[in-house]
Amino acid sequence: MSTTVVRRPAHANAVVLAHGYTGRDVARIASFAVRQARSELFDSGQQYDVAWSAIAEALWNCTEPPDAKTLYRAGIRAIHDEGRSLARGRGVWQKDAPIKRFDTYWRTVERQPREEHPVVERIAAIQVYDGLPDIHQWTLWALTVADDEDGAAARSWASLPAHFIDGCGKPAELRKACGFHRIDRRAISCGVGDAP
């Protein structure tokens, strides 16, 4: 597989941007900032773009000619700020507690049900139902006709064929044996009908 390398015209890097710095100088400082930043939160190409933009902005905002170290610091700072922003958005970065705050936030946020959720669940249940083992079909059937998991376990217990019982003595044990999980009953009550 061959790779086509697109090169900038030689004169593009030779253009003086501001205060005597050329495009080549900004590119060199940005590359150095990327190597020194050692950020693993986003790829080096994006880091280079962030650093290059920050260095160019710092260069244009300076009233006096800046030294290369000042521009380098602007590039490093931009890379770190962008990394923190990305990490914060992913729930990783918190100065006080890296994961605890993220977990607290997302567990307490009230989830809004999406309008298409029941439709998607209904279609998925229809498609999957025939491929399930008999015991799981019985479990889903019980969930569709009962009000809650305990009611579904009791109903399954009462209507389940003897060869599925395997010595379970109580509906709670049956629920564990049948693998009851929290399932949206409304989604499953679509065409499943009577017990299998």
> What is the rounded average pLDDT for all residues in the chain?
68
pLDDT tens, position by position, 39-60: 777 888 888 999 988 998 999 8
87 and 46 within one domain: yes
Q: Are residues 25 and 85 in the same domain?
A: yes
The Cα–Cα gap between 163 and 159 comes to 12
Tens-place pLDDT, residues 63-85: 888 888 999 999 999 999 998 88
Same domain flag for 33 and 81: yes
Q: Chain centroid to CA 176: how far?
A: 31
Residue 55: give the domain boundaries. Answer: 10-107
Q: What are the Cα distances from residue 134, in Å, to 3, 28, 129, 157, 163?
A: 54, 66, 10, 14, 11
Distances (CA, A) of 88 to 34, 126, 171, 173: 20, 39, 45, 43
User: Higher pLDDT residue, 15 or 11?
Assistant: 15
Nearest to 33 by CA among 22, 19, 45, 48: 48
Tens-digit pLDDT profile for residues 90-138: 666 556 554 555 555 555 555 556 666 667 777 777 777 788 787 777 7
Position 77 scores a pLDDT of 93
* 14 and 100 within one domain: yes
**Closest listed residue to residue 17, CA positions, set 59, 71, 49:** 59
